[in-house]
């Protein structure tokens, strides 16, 4: 995770600003608790946008090894702004599903498992939307297969269904330990939307260009 989020920059003098995204020079300021004690929190102020980002310093050196002025020099982890590392929702994702998807993006950093459970809910809603009726997610995916759901979308649906199941047995995949796996579920849901909604819309639009009388009744 630390490679994509909360990037440890070790107080580099310039990096991509978490606020504006520009590669810019940064000024570091340690937060002072009182006259001679520093909190393990530091601000980096961006030269480009002048906005501060807040970092917590995970200092594991003993106090005696700290510099004389008590400043903490440990590896900083970004705590504000919260970075959303999960991909954005597909344009054609239905609005009520997008709400859950956005919530999954928000909680992902703190609980990949909670995010996966929300994505499972997204799949459930998507199945309902495609079939036009509610039902059990397992059965619905089966029904969609019978209806000719592309197998790629089926794999996407089924992976999210399984990994987003909170009742997964202990000892199987723990998404909190493997956030990379949970992160792929976002892409899978987007892929399912592209296959099941976007592709269908495009096909409909092309079909609308052909004369009705010449069409086969498919």
Binding site for Zn ion (CB under 5 A): 17, 19-20, 46, 48-49
Looking at the Cβ atoms of 6 and 52, the one nearer to Zn ion is 52
Q: At what angle do helices 179-193 and 112-131 cross, to 10 degrees?
A: 20
Looking at the Cβ atoms of 45 and 99, the one nearer to Zn ion is 45
Looking at the Cβ atoms of 20 and 155, the one nearer to Zn ion is 20
Q: How far is the CB of 26 from Zn ion (least distance, A)?
A: 9
Q: How far is the CB of 1 from Zn ion (least distance, A)?
A: 23
Q: How far is the CB of 45 from Zn ion (least distance, A)?
A: 9
Distance CA 108, CA 105 (A): 5
Return the half-sphere exposure (C-beta side, CA atoms, 13 A cut-off) of residue 42.
22
Q: How far is the CB of 24 from Zn ion (least distance, A)?
A: 6
Looking at the Cβ atoms of 55 and 101, the one nearer to Zn ion is 55
How is residue 30 written in tokens?
Answer: 């340690």
Looking at the Cβ atoms of 21 and 134, the one nearer to Zn ion is 21
* Edge-to-edge strand ranges of the sheet holding 37-46: 14-16, 23-34, 37-46, 52-58, 75-80
Q: How far is the CB of 58 from Zn ion (least distance, A)?
A: 23
**Distances, alpha carbon 54 to alpha carbons 8, 102, 192, in Å:** 12, 23, 37
DSSP code of residue 88: P
């Amino acid at each position: 995770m630390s490679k994509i989020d909360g990037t440890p920059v070790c107080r580099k003098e310039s990096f991509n600003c978490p606020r504006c995204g520009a590669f810019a020079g940064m000024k570091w300021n340690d937060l002072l608790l009182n006259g001679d004690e520093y909190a393990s929190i530091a601000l980096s102020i961006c030269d480009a946008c002048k906005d501060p980002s807040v970092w917590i310093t995970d200092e594991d050196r003993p106090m005696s090894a700290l510099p004389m002025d008590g400043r903490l020099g440990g590896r900083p982890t970004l705590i504000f702004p919260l970075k959303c590392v999960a991909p954005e929702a597909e344009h054609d994702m239905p609005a009520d599903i997008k709400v859950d998807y956005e919530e999954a993006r928000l909680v992902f950093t703190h609980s990949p498992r909670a995010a996966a459970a929300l994505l499972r809910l997204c799949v459930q809603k998507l199945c309902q939307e495609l079939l036009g009726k509610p039902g059990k997610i397992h059965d619905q995916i089966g029904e969609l297969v019978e209806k000719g759901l592309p197998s790629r979308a089926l794999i996407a649906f089924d992976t999210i269904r399984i990994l987003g199941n909170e009742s997964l047995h202990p000892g199987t995949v723990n998404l909190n330990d493997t956030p990379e796996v949970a992160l792929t579920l976002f892409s899978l849901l987007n892929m399912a939307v592209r296959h099941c909604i976007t592709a269908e819309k495009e096909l409909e639009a092309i079909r609308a260009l052909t004369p009705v009388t010449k069409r086969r009744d498919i």
